[in-house]
Amino acid sequence: MLITITFDMPVRLTFLTVLTLVCVTLRPSVVQAQSTYEIDFKDPASVLGAVFHAAREADYDILLGLCDPLGKGDGDTKQVCGIGVSAQLLAQGDTDPQVGGAVLSFTEAFRDGRVTGKPVITSTGEGGRTATVDFVFGPKGARQEQMRLVERYGNWYLASF
């Protein structure tokens, strides 16, 4: 089976992101190997909470496994998950200002964020489920938003916001 995933980021990140998504789909626990945050992929709020943890603790690798493994998420969630790859490139000595700027922008946007509501889970017509979770982010957590997550293989993943 061939899955085509399109990302709105430089080509050199696309291959790494696709490779990461494939690996995480097979073993979501791989993402948590070095993290201090324990993601409960059965709880949509926990998955979203990992985003805020990553920004506060510079634990960007945890972001690699949060996006829809089928690649059906929106551009915003793909950019969030792509920060894990960007941070790895920086750690390997990449000096591209766009890469560093993306990590800095992510950190500033999400470090003061937090979940503000309980997940609301709904069934889709195709037998799947989605969840919405209210959260705040931005400077001092002043911006309200809602994250939509999708359930795949019994686990929750970021889909859109």
CATH classification at residue 91: 3.10.450
For residue range 115-149, list pLDDT tens digits in order. Answer: 999 999 999 887 899 999 999 999 988 999 999 99
Distance separating alpha carbons of residues 145 and 142, to the nearest angstrom: 10
114 located within any domain: yes
2 located within any domain: no
Please choose, from the candidates 67, 65, 16, 58, the residue with its C-alpha nearest in 3D space to the C-alpha of residue 39. 65
**DSSP character at residue 154:** T
Taking residues 67-88, report their average pLDDT. 96
For helices 75-91 and 44-57, the axis angle rounded to 10 degrees is: 40
Cβ(17)–Cβ(116) below 8 Å? no
78 located within any domain: yes
34 located within any domain: yes
Centre a 10 Å sphere on the Cβ of residue 154 and count the other Cβ atoms it contains.
Answer: 7
pTM of the full structure: 0.78
Q: What is the pLDDT of residue 34?
A: 62
Whether the pLDDT of residue 23 is over 90: the answer is no
148 located within any domain: yes
Q: Which domain holds residue 68?
A: 11-160
6 located within any domain: no
1 located within any domain: no
How many domains does the chain fold into?
Answer: 1
Distance separating alpha carbons of residues 99 and 90, to the nearest angstrom: 7
Strands (E), 2-69: none
Q: What is the pLDDT of residue 36?
A: 80
4 located within any domain: no
Q: What is the pLDDT of residue 125?
A: 80
Taking residues 74-78, report their average pLDDT. 96
